């Protein structure tokens, strides 16, 4: 067994911070180490937490639920949350993440990804989530509510869309809960071998964790999915009475093929591409200072960087061997905020700055620098009334984006159809030293607790986003700002330990969405855009329960729209279940997605059906002792029904995976 584990230490000292509070107790909370347990229990600082009035629109996977799902990577874990549709594909990035029928944006820029307090750029987030080991993740929180304005900018970097951020995916890595380590070895179909080793501890007020991971796979024959990868994750911190600090670092290095389309109607079926290598670097930290019981100031600094060398097409004899596109992208951010509690009101004020630089370009911008900055500020206030039965909050956010250099996304020089403009045509336009119109958002929310077992919420948000481009559409008219009106209702009832239902309803009234269309050939791909108005509506219904040795959760999501509804799966079901019997545990996770349509690089330029599948994962765990330490032997299968389904046209799932793993503590 050969594992390619190239380890590197990031030499940048970076700070990251956020302030948060638990409004259920209506006080400021922080990282803490419990003195009442031995060994002591370390709890997470609730960095970048959403308002209490948003909580019914949040779906969270705990560490235990992630283990039940046994996902291949973080993308598959996210796909298990309510209403998620992670569209897997290959080529330049491996996934597109959509919720509630959001647009199939190629670079998945519609959702901000926050990893250990650091907001990542769209492409960096996809590549880090693809390589970061699931075994270092403590929780994944999907905040579908775009009105959570304290989390990060609503403006996005220069990806092929103009849409403001629709929500956030908040990922927290593990903290050590005792002194010791874990080793895990796995073997799966397609000659896939994985090793995960970690060790951590708590000493006085200092904690530390180190994790090393390796993967090697041949991938399914003719799918072009072979990969060799190694990574290292380090986390440490100090927990004092008035001051806390947490630093996280991550590095991965892989040589990987990018999955090819296997459907004959796809233009990109011959794309047998490979990265040699692709590297991810990430540094984040949380530093927090309390000034008394009711004042807290936090500072965030973070850095992430991705480097790659890409072989475009090894099957093309006209290209010389070793012909690569080499690229780099980096993101740096700073976040300064203060929280203050005034009687029954908590006020947050903060400002952020993010710096993005891709000197070699990215995706459909190869060879053209993309360098942008976003500067933002927010003001948030939350008030408790009637002994915390009623919570009301309001938020205001303003973001400004500056572009040093980028390719014109909406180029009026080439017209393909009415109200459609071509990107990266022969007459490229370059944006230099331009400010976009301000992205502005405000929201109002309310949560009412009828009793200890019944609560309901209502939220409204307005968001608008401009562009740094010349703001001319194909017909010569002004490229209009996108505007979004968001309405949400939620209710939750705690019936008993067996059944706890939650219902969310939403209506999004969107104006001037920048809608992408896909044209071109394998050697000359490009995207075109038009502007559409769209109303999206639907909801999520879920329930869960736990009794003795049995746990389950279920969610059903419905979404549709008055325009482009053919691109939206109307029905989306996710389920988790675990049954423990003595030393054994039977785990089940399932996903159903109804039929929808995709026109991603289709030869006939028409829509084709995708979706319409059931994917089932099962595993059987045997918990026992190895030299008096906890150990677990697992047998598992992903996609048990062996469906080669597509979630984006042309790219089929590899089918059934059967594997075994052995994990033990030391």
Of the candidates 20, 98, 149, 103, the residue with the CA atom closest to the CA atom of residue 460:
149
**Separation CA 394–CA 338 (nearest Å):** 16
| Statement: residue 5 has pLDDT above 80 | no
Q: Using pLDDT thresholds of 50, 70 and 90, give the confidence band for residue 471.
A: very low
8 within domain boundaries: no
* Mean pLDDT, rounded, for 278-292: 92
143 within domain boundaries: yes
Tokens at 314, concatenated: 């090894």
Per-residue exposure over 114-137, b if at least 16 CB sit within 10 Å of its own CB, e if not = bbbbbbbbbbbbbbbbbbbbbbbb
| Statement: residue 8 has pLDDT above 50 | no
What values do phi and psi take at 131, rounded to 5?
-100, -25
Q: What is the pLDDT of residues 490-533, one digit of tens each?
A: 999 999 989 999 999 999 998 887 765 545 544 454 555 667 78
Beta strands in 452-499 (DSSP E): 454-465, 482-493
* Mean pLDDT, rounded, for 350-354: 93
DSSP assigned state of 436: P
The pLDDT of residue 161 is 46
Q: Omega before 277 cis (within 30°)?
A: yes
The pLDDT of residue 413 is 42
Integer angstrom CA distances of residue 50 from 8, 14, 47, 333, 361: 34, 24, 9, 20, 33
* Mean pLDDT, rounded, for 614-643: 96
Region of poorest pLDDT, from 65-69, 220-224, 412-416: 412-416
**Mean pLDDT of all residues in the chain?**
83
Tokens at 140, concatenated: 């994944």
* Mean pLDDT, rounded, for 541-547: 94
The pLDDT of residue 520 is 52
The distance of Cα 228 from the centroid of its chain, to the nearest Å, equals: 23
| Statement: residue 314 has pLDDT above 60 | no
1 within domain boundaries: no
Cβ–Cβ < 8 Å for 349, 338: yes
6 within domain boundaries: no
The pLDDT of residue 409 is 54
Q: Omega before 653 cis (within 30°)?
A: no
| Statement: residue 412 has pLDDT above 50 | no
* Mean pLDDT, rounded, for 455-473: 76
DSSP assigned state of 565: G
The pLDDT of residue 367 is 76
Partners of residue 192 on adjacent β-strands? 188
15 within domain boundaries: no
Cβ–Cβ < 8 Å for 250, 229: no
- What percentage of residues in the chain have a pLDDT greater than 90? 54
**Separation CA 574–CA 558 (nearest Å):** 12
**Separation CA 590–CA 335 (nearest Å):** 39
Q: Which domain holds residue 45?
A: 21-665
Region of poorest pLDDT, from 161-170, 429-438, 636-645: 161-170
Q: Using pLDDT thresholds of 50, 70 and 90, give the confidence band for residue 230.
A: very high
The count of structural domains within the chain is: 1
The pLDDT of residue 324 is 65
221 within domain boundaries: yes
| Statement: residue 3 has pLDDT above 50 | no
| Interstrand relation of 167-173 and 273-290 (parallel, antiparallel or unpaired) | unpaired
Neighbouring residues of 56: CB distance < 8 A, sequence distance ≥ 6: 447, 455, 457, 490, 491, 492, 502, 504
| Statement: residue 399 has pLDDT above 70 | yes
5 within domain boundaries: no
4 within domain boundaries: no
Tokens at 652, concatenated: 């089929």
Tokens at 595, concatenated: 């039929």
Q: Three-state secondary structure along 188-209?
A: ECCCEEEEEEEEEEEECCEEEE
> The domain that contains 227 carries what CATH number?
2.40.170.20
The pLDDT of residue 321 is 53
Of the candidates 376, 353, 398, 443, the residue with the CA atom closest to the CA atom of residue 146:
443
What values do phi and psi take at 192, rounded to 5?
-95, 125
Q: Give the CA angle between residues 292, 297, 303 to the nearest 5°.
A: 150
Q: How much is the pTM?
A: 0.87
The distance of Cα 51 from the centroid of its chain, to the nearest Å, equals: 19
Cβ burial, residue 531 (10 Å; 0-12/13-18/19+): buried
**Separation CA 262–CA 224 (nearest Å):** 10
Of the candidates 436, 427, 429, the residue with the CA atom closest to the CA atom of residue 465:
436
* Mean pLDDT, rounded, for 449-476: 77
The pLDDT of residue 253 is 96
Q: What is the pLDDT of residues 561-607, one digit of tens each?
A: 998 899 999 999 999 999 999 999 999 999 999 999 998 888 988 99
| Interstrand relation of 27-28 and 439-451 (parallel, antiparallel or unpaired) | unpaired
**Separation CA 539–CA 501 (nearest Å):** 13
Q: What is the pLDDT of residues 149-169, one digit of tens each?
A: 888 888 776 554 455 677 889
Q: What is the pLDDT of residues 237-269, one digit of tens each?
A: 999 888 999 999 999 999 999 888 999 999 888
């Amino acid at each position: 067994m050969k594992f390619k584990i190239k380890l590197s230490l990031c030499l940048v000292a970076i700070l990251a911070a956020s302030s948060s509070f638990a409004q259920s107790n209506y006080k400021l909370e922080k990282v803490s180490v419990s003195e009442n347990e031995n060994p002591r229990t370390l709890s997470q600082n609730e960095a970048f937490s959403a308002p209490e009035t948003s909580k019914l629109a949040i779906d969270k996977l705990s560490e235990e639920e992630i283990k039940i799902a046994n996902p291949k990577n973080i993308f598959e874990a996210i796909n298990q949350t309510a209403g998620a549709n992670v569209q897997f594909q290959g080529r330049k990035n491996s996934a597109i993440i959509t919720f509630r029928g959001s647009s199939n944006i190629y670079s998945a820029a519609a959702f901000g990804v926050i990893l250990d307090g650091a907001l990542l750029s769209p492409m960096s987030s996809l590549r880090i989530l693809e390589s970061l080991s699931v075994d270092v993740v403590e929780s994944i929180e999907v905040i579908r509510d775009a009105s959570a304005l304290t989390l990060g900018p609503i403006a996005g970097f220069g990806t092929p869309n103009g849409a403001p951020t629709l929500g956030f995916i908040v990922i927290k890595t593990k903290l050590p809960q005792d002194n010791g380590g874990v080793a895990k070895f796995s073997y799966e179909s397609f000659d896939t071998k994985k090793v995960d080793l970690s060790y951590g501890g708590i000493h006085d007020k200092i904690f530390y964790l180190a994790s090393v991971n390796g993967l090697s796979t041949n991938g399914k024959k003719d799918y072009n999915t072979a990969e060799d990868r190694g990574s290292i994750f380090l986390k440490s911190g100090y927990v004092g009475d008035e001051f806390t600090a947490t630093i996280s670092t991550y590095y991965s290095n892989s040589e990987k093929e990018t999955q090819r389309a296997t459907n004959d109607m796809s233009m990109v079926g011959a794309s047998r591409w490979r990265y040699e290598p692709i590297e991810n670097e990430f540094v984040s930290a949380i530093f927090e200072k309390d000034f008394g019981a009711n004042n807290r100031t936090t500072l965030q600094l973070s850095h992430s960087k991705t480097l790659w060398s890409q072989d475009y097409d090894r099957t093309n004899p006209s290209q010389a061997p070793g012909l690569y596109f080499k690229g780099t992208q980096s993101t740096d951010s700073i976040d300064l905020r203060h929280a203050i509690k005034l009687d029954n009101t908590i006020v947050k004020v903060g400002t952020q700055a993010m710096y993005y630089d891709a000197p070699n370009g990215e995706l459909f911008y190869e060879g053209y620098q993309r360098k942008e900055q976003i500067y933002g500020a927010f003001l948030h206030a939350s008030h408790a009334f009637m002994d915390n039965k009623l919570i009301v909050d309001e938020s205001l956010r303003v973001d400004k984006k500056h572009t040093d250099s980028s390719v014109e996304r909406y180029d009026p020089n080439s017209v393909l159809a009415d109200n459609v403009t071509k990107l990266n045509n022969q007459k490229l336009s370059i944006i230099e030293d331009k400010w976009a119109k301000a992205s502005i958002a405000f929201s109002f929310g309310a949560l009412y607790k009828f009793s200890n077992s019944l609560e309901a919420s209502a939220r409204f948000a307005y968001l608008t986003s401009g562009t740094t481009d010349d703001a001319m559409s194909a017909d010569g008219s002004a490229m209009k700002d996108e505007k979004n009106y968001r309405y949400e209702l939620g209710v939750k009832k705690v019936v008993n330990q067996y059944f706890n239902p939650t219902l969310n309803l939403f209506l999004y009234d969107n104006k001037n969405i920048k809608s992408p269309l896909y044209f071109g050939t394998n050697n000359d791909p490009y995207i075109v855009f038009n502007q559409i108005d769209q109303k999206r509506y639907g909801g999520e219904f879920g329930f869960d329960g736990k009794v003795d040795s049995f746990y389950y959760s279920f969610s059903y999501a419905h979404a549709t729209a008055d325009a482009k509804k053919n691109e939206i799966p109307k029905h989306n079901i996710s389920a988790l279940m675990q049954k423990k019997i003595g030393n054994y545990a039977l785990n089940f996770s399932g996903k159903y997605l109804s039929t929808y349509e995709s026109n991603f690089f289709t030869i006939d330029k028409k829509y084709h059906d995708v979706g319409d599948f059931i994917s089932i994962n099962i595993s059987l765990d045997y918990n026992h002792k190895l030299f008096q330490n906890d150990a677990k032997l697992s047998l598992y299968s992903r996609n048990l029904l062996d469906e080669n389904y597509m979630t984006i046209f042309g790219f089929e799932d590899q089918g059934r995976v059967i594997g075994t793993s052995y994990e033990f503590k030391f």
